[in-house]
Amino acid sequence: MSRSNGKSPLGGMILFGLVITGVLFVYFSTMFERDEPIINVKSNGYWNLKEPLKISIADKSGIKSYKVTLKTSSEAIALQNEQFITPENEVSLVIKPPRTAYSMKDKTMSVVIEAVDASKWNFLNGNVALKEFKFNIDKKRPHLNIVSNSYKISKGGSALVIFKADDENLQDIYIELSNDKKFKVQPFYKEGFYIALIAWPIIDKSFKASVVARDYAGNIAKSYIPLYLKQKNYKVSSIRLSDRFLKGKIADLAYEYVETQGVEDPIEQFKLINEDVRAKNERLIHDITSKLSDEMISDFKVDKMYPLKNAKVVARFGDHRKYFYKGKKISESYHLGLDLASNAMANIKPQNSGEVVFADYNGIYGNMPIIDHGLGLYTLYGHCSSIKVNSGEHFNAKEIVANTGLTGYAMGDHLHFGVLVQGVEVRPQEWMDREWIKLNISNVIKSAKKIIDRD
Ligand SMILES: [Zn+2]
């Protein structure tokens, strides 16, 4: 027996180990990875053959080449291909559709993408990914047609619009103001028709509203709503803050709010209440009153509003209030409701039914129920001494919603009556005028139905 004789089991083991290591290296190294490139196309399955296609290809070992082809019913059109000397881990492509495809009548087309990676796997050929993406071709813009609308809109006021929108793949439809505010629209009367109340926010100098419709393929249509604009001058008043007021009502409120905790200076307290607390309270109001149902309605009726009997107007909607202390301007705000006063703790009886969507305390607005009357129209009752309804309840017209009071930022017993259209405070006076309602709401609906029935 000799050790040097024959094959040593140790040498065999080393060789075997080397082979295993080599296999493991190939198996786990990026160089030999076996994952095919990942191909993604940014798409919802619709294409208007105008928008460029956004494609991304990613691979661990890098992309060696790719090829993008458009397959129509009659031909295959090469869109783009590329070979990389230095493989890239990620390739982002923006590919324009060919002009020739735009004139085709195909309802669907496919985009075929082939990508090869730089892996040494597959006998150095790399991994190949081949993907086909099918698109519904939609080159047509939605068709819009304004059926009927209020003749005019006043600064701070409301208007009604009814229109038709036609598209096979309608995705989104809304009304847009020049200040970017969007109003939702509600299906109306028959399929393809929509209705919306819109508003000219009091802080906007000018007003322009358009219906906008977009389909899934990205085609957009815009139609301007022809409204006669009526400017309105709102009162600007300078109010001198007295020490009595600051040390009384303001000190009381400051004690209550989170924003004014630890703040001792009465002027600072007033500023915080008039600006920060107000903004927070109004944000809540706007949130609650921005909702609109998407159920189809066949009519919308509203009675002249007058929530407080034998009431005197004590402050108007839209007053721009500038506050001064010792000759210096401290703060300013807009009064976004109509203040009505009669007896103390008088019954508040709204004339229109609806759903109670809020019945709670809201900062400077005090106890404040809000009623949703449908079509984005809401009424709000501020500074109440007590609320007689609960959130979530149905409200029947002419019942008592609350009693007037002076909760929140109020000096005497009164009702702060607010009317909102999809989160925008509007002139309550319009909704308190039977003639205005008839001209701007009822008649617009009536004439729209006549036109729709003929359609
Ligand atoms: Zn008020």
Residue pLDDT, tens place only, 64-76:
999 999 999 999 9
What is the CA(334)–ligand 1 centre distance, in A?
10
What is the CA(447)–ligand 1 centre distance, in A?
36
Q: What is the largest CA-CA distance in the chain?
A: 126
Structure tokens at 437: 């309602």
What is the CA(292)–ligand 1 centre distance, in A?
25
- Of the chain, the end-to-end C-alpha distance in Å amounts to 109
The average pLDDT across 179-188 equals: 96
Contact 444, 160 (CB under 8 A): yes
The average pLDDT across 6-31 equals: 77
Q: Does 360 score more than 60 pLDDT?
A: yes
For the chain, what's the residue count?
A: 455
What is the CA(114)–ligand 1 centre distance, in A?
67
**By percentage, how much of the chain surpasses pLDDT 90?**
87
- CA distances from residue 100 to 67, 79, 104, 111 in whole angstroms, order as listed: 19, 12, 7, 15
The average pLDDT across 150-165 equals: 98
The average pLDDT across 48-74 equals: 94
pTM given for the model: 0.86
What integer pLDDT is reported at residue 6 of this predicted model? 53
Which residue stretches of 59-136 are H helix? Answer: 99-102
Encode pLDDT of 113-150 as tens digits. 999 998 887 777 899 999 999 999 999 999 999 999 99
**Going by DSSP bridges, is the β-strand pair 236-240/220-224 parallel, antiparallel, or unpaired?**
unpaired
What is the CA(356)–ligand 1 centre distance, in A?
20
Query: What are phi and psi for residue 396, nearest 5 degrees?
Result: -95, 135
Encode pLDDT of 277-318 as tens digits. 999 999 999 999 999 999 999 999 999 999 999 999 999 999
What is the CA(300)–ligand 1 centre distance, in A?
28
What is the CA(409)–ligand 1 centre distance, in A?
9
**Going by DSSP bridges, is the β-strand pair 367-372/328-334 parallel, antiparallel, or unpaired?**
unpaired
State the pLDDT confidence band at 225, using cuts at 50, 70 and 90: very high
What integer pLDDT is reported at residue 12 of this predicted model? 83
What is the CA(375)–ligand 1 centre distance, in A?
24
Close Cβ partners of 295 (under 8 Å, ≥ 6 residues apart):
186, 187
What is the CA(72)–ligand 1 centre distance, in A?
65
Query: What are phi and psi for residue 275, nearest 5 degrees?
Result: -110, -65
What is the CA(35)–ligand 1 centre distance, in A?
68
Amino acid at 294: D
What integer pLDDT is reported at residue 29 of this predicted model? 72
What integer pLDDT is reported at residue 103 of this predicted model? 87
What DSSP character marks residue 192? T
Q: Does 2 score more than 50 pLDDT?
A: no
What integer pLDDT is reported at residue 1 of this predicted model? 46
- CA distances from residue 175 to 33, 85, 243, 317 in whole angstroms, order as listed: 53, 51, 47, 25
What is the CA(335)–ligand 1 centre distance, in A?
6
Of 211, 204, 40, 216, which is closest to residue 139 (Cα–Cα)?
A: 216
What is the CA(203)–ligand 1 centre distance, in A?
17
What is the CA(50)–ligand 1 centre distance, in A?
52
> What does the mean pLDDT of the chain come to?
94
What is the CA(339)–ligand 1 centre distance, in A?
5
Pick the range with the lowest mean pLDDT from 7-11, 241-245, 374-378, 392-396. Answer: 7-11
What is the CA(333)–ligand 1 centre distance, in A?
12
